[in-house]
Each structure stands twice: as structure tokens, then as C-alpha cells.
Amino acid sequence: MTNLSTIAGIKAFGPSGLERLISELGEPRYRAHQIVRWLYGKGAGSWDEMTDVPASLRQRLSDRYTLPVPTLLDRQVSAVDGTRKYLWGLGDGATVESVGLPTPERLTVCFSTQAGCGMGCSFCATGAGGLKRNLAVGEIVDQVRLVGEDFGSRVSNAVAMGQGEPFANYDAVMGALRLMNSPDGLGIGARHLTVSTCGLVPGIQRLSGEPEQFTLAISLHSAVQETRDELMPGVKASDLHQLRAAIVDYTAATGRRVSLEYALMAGVTDTPKQIDSLRNFARGLLCHVNLIPLNPVAHSRHSPASTKRAAEIVRLLDKSGTEATIRTERGADIDAACGQLSQKHVGN
Ligand code: SAH
Ligand code: SF4
């Protein structure tokens, strides 16, 4: 966080960091809530707007911290389903993408937690470019807030399924989720906030101990160790035994169900052997399997499984007592689906 405060200014602070900062300045704690309301509830772009914060405090804060707001560099709207994809520019020139997925009842925002990603998954467009840097707390919250503003409606759900591995940037992501959840911030229900991880066990263990009921999704993609290691080289240190045990412990501690994300890649993750292993992995877990039709990514050797095979897999999982659904594709015409956020249209 310290290094990021030069780039992100006040946006480097989560709710507890802001409270600490305010108390160090000898101010009452409620000032921190006011500032959160201005920054995230109202989206203030300058210290001057914070009219109920004393001018002297505003001055001291502005002497120390900048108040950057992401710049919209590009926005694409799907003609098919109204999905919108955004490219944001951050203080140091880093760029990240977010997606807004509207339905009549909901507005879901898919946000990024890192610029790039260091996990190197072979099927993912973000993974191919490597990690640029972690995002600061406010850089994460701002994406969700700004997408809501663009739609002119309340964001009902937000998912950390954009660029980056949330548990590789745990503290900032947790601070951001708390600000999204806070009535001073975006006021989104904790259960409607989802963090998706490639399966970093220490992160799952930490999340088990958090008081909020955030939702957890785990990108499994293969329950065969060798295949998973090939597809997801960055997560080798957390093997499938440890991962399954962490899920069991998570459910015991929280009583909550996890989603297992499983991208169907023809001949790689949809074979009888793979599906047997998936059924064994999921059997007895409090989980829901989300079968994702693979989004083909440039230069990737993987191709999607057939829809017929996907339907068969749902039936096979059902037979072994595991609930599964096939995720519907959104924003296909603007490459807004999972794993396709790669900023290719700006040439990096
Ligand atoms: N790093 C986290 C969250 C961001 S990726 C994670 O891996 O869970 C969001 C989701 O998109 C993950 O489930 C990821 O596995 C999936 N994904 C990545 N590339 C994909 C692709 N080409 N097709 C379908 N899903 C993909
Ligand atoms: Fe990173 Fe997730 Fe993509 Fe893997 S799938 S490279 S963990 S963003």
C-alpha cells in the first residue's frame, strides 16, 4: 500500500486505513465515514466538494494525498445484450478493464483487481501479458462505482472476475469489498459480492475468517493435478488435495456454498477421465459447478467443448449429487466475456 499511495493517493486507503489516518490527524472517527461517502458514495473528484468536512482538514489531506479518478479510455456496448466493456486509465498509465452486465432485475459489474495477472493460465488472455501491478483499494472500487454511474443505476452485484488474481492482492481486495458493501460506499449486499480465485489456498483460509458473507468462486478447470498444473502453472503450490481441504474447512467455518468454475475445453477438460475426477472432487462438497463455455483466446491451443457434451456433463454431475449449470455467454460481440479482457484494442 505504501508504494501505491504515490500513484493512488487517498485511494490507496481502505476503510480501516482511512480511520487510522483520520485518528492520526487527531480527528474524530466519523470524519472517515464522511470521506468514504464523498469518495465512493458520491464519487467526489476533488477535496473542495467535501463541504461538510472542515476546510482545515481538507487542506491537510490535500497537502498529503492526491485524489485521482480513473479516466475512461474506451467503452464498447454489445449490440446483442447491452453488455458494456470499459477501459480505464490509472494515475501511472496502467490500464484495466471492467464489464457491466445488465438484466431487467440486476446490474452486475465484473471488476479487475490487478493490472494484468502473474498466474499465467494458458487459456486466459489476461494471463498471457503477465502482471503489471496490484490495484489500490480505491482503483478497484472506482471501477464499480463508475460503471454504475454510466448505467445510471444501482449496482446490485459485483464480481472480481476481471483482470488479476484477487488473492494475490488480498488486503486491497478485501478493503475494496468492504467499501462496496458499506452503506457509506456502494451499499451492495455482501452475498452479492463475489471473489473469484484460481485457488490460492492461503487466501481461501483467510477469507474463511472474515466476518462478512462475501461469496467465493474457485476456478477449478481440472480436477486432474497434471492437467491443472499445465493449464494453471501459477497455482501449483496449492495442490488439489490442499484446495479441496480448504473448501471443506471454508464451508465448516462459514456454512457457505462455493462455486466451482470449470471451463470446458474440448479434449482437455471435458474427457470422461476429467469428468470422473471432477465428479469425485465435487462429491460431498457444498458447491455449485459453473460450467463455462471456453472463450477462445488468440494464440491459444484450446477450443470450446460442444454444447451437447456440456449438457451431458450437467447430467453426469447431477447423477453424483452435484448441482451444475452452464454459464450463458454475455457480450460475445465485444469480447467482454471471462478471460477475454486483454486490452488488445489499445495494442498492449
Ligand atoms: N484470477 C481469478 C479471477 C479472474 S479470471 C480467477 O482465475 O478465478 C475470471 C474467470 O474467467 C475465472 O474463472 C477464469 O478461470 C475464467 N477464464 C479465464 N480465461 C477464460 C477463457 N478463455 N474462457 C472462459 N473462462 C475463462
Ligand atoms: Fe489470472 Fe485468473 Fe487469468 Fe489465471 S484465469 S491468468 S488467475 S486472471
pLDDT of the residue at 296: 82
- In the set 117, 121, 287, 338, the catalytic residue is 338
Q: Are 294 and 261 in contact (CB under 8 A)?
A: no
Residues 116 and 39 grouped into a single domain:
no
Q: Does residue 62 have a pLDDT over 60?
A: yes
The DSSP letter of residue 39 is I
Listed in sequence order, the residues at least 6 apart from 329 whose beta carbon sits closer than 8 Å to its beta carbon are 293, 295, 337
Residues 83 and 17 grouped into a single domain:
no
Say whether 283 sits in a helix, a strand or coil.
coil
- Cα(263) to centroid(ligand 1), Å: 8
Strand partners, 133: 115
Q: Is 40 in the pocket of ligand 1 (CB under 6 A)?
A: no
Is residue 312 annotated as part of the catalytic site, yes or no?
no
CA triplet 17, 18, 20: central angle to 5 degrees? 65
Residues 289 and 147 grouped into a single domain:
yes
Query: Poorest-confidence range of 127-141, 304-318, 327-341?
Result: 327-341
pLDDT mean over 311-319: 98
Amino acid at 215: T
311 falls within a domain: yes
pLDDT in tens, 219-267: 999 999 999 999 999 999 999 999 999 999 999 999 999 999 999 999 9
- Cα(93) to centroid(ligand 2), Å: 22
Look up the CATH number of the domain holding residue 13. 1.10.150.530
User: Across all residues in the chain, what is the average pLDDT?
Assistant: 94
Provide the pLDDT confidence category of residue 162 given band limits of 50, 70 and 90.
very high
- In the set 19, 27, 97, 261, the catalytic residue is 97
Residues 42 and 168 grouped into a single domain:
no
Is residue 338 annotated as part of the catalytic site, yes or no?
yes
Residues 169 and 296 grouped into a single domain:
yes
Residues 278 and 154 grouped into a single domain:
yes
Q: Whose CA is nearest to atom 9 of ligand 1?
A: 161
Q: Is 143 in the pocket of ligand 1 (CB under 6 A)?
A: no
- Give the residue numbers spanning the domain of 126: 71-334
Ligand 2 site-directed mutation target among 121, 231, 262, most atoms within 8 Å of CB: 121
Strand partners, 25: none
343 falls within a domain: no
Q: Does residue 129 have a pLDDT over 70?
A: yes
The DSSP letter of residue 332 is G
28 falls within a domain: yes
104 falls within a domain: yes
pLDDT in tens, 188-197: 999 999 999 9
Residues 177 and 222 grouped into a single domain:
yes
Q: Whose CA is nearest to atom 7 of ligand 1?
A: 198
pLDDT in tens, 66-91: 999 999 999 999 999 999 999 999 99
342 falls within a domain: no
Residues 49 and 145 grouped into a single domain:
no
pLDDT of the residue at 329: 84
Percent of the chain with pLDDT over 70: 97
Look up the CATH number of the domain holding residue 169. 3.20.20.70
pLDDT of the residue at 346: 44
pLDDT in tens, 255-308: 999 999 999 999 999 999 999 999 999 999 999 999 999 988 877 889 999 999
| Strand 107-110, strand 157-160: pairing | parallel
- Cα(126) to centroid(ligand 2), Å: 6
159 falls within a domain: yes
End-to-end CA distance of the chain: 26
Percent of the chain with pLDDT over 90: 89
Measured distance CA(153)–CA(159) in Å, rounded: 17
pLDDT in tens, 89-108: 999 999 999 999 999 999 99
Question: How many separate domains does the chain show?
Answer: 2
User: DSSP string spanning 141-194?
Assistant: HHHHHHHHHHHTS---EEEE-SSS-GGGGHHHHHHHHHHHHSTTTT---GGGEE
Q: Does residue 2 have a pLDDT over 50?
A: no
Q: Does residue 110 have a pLDDT over 70?
A: yes
Q: Does residue 344 have a pLDDT over 60?
A: no
Q: Is 165 in the pocket of ligand 1 (CB under 6 A)?
A: yes
Provide the pLDDT confidence category of residue 339 given band limits of 50, 70 and 90.
low
Single pTM value for the model: 0.96
Residues 11 and 115 grouped into a single domain:
no
pLDDT of the residue at 343: 58
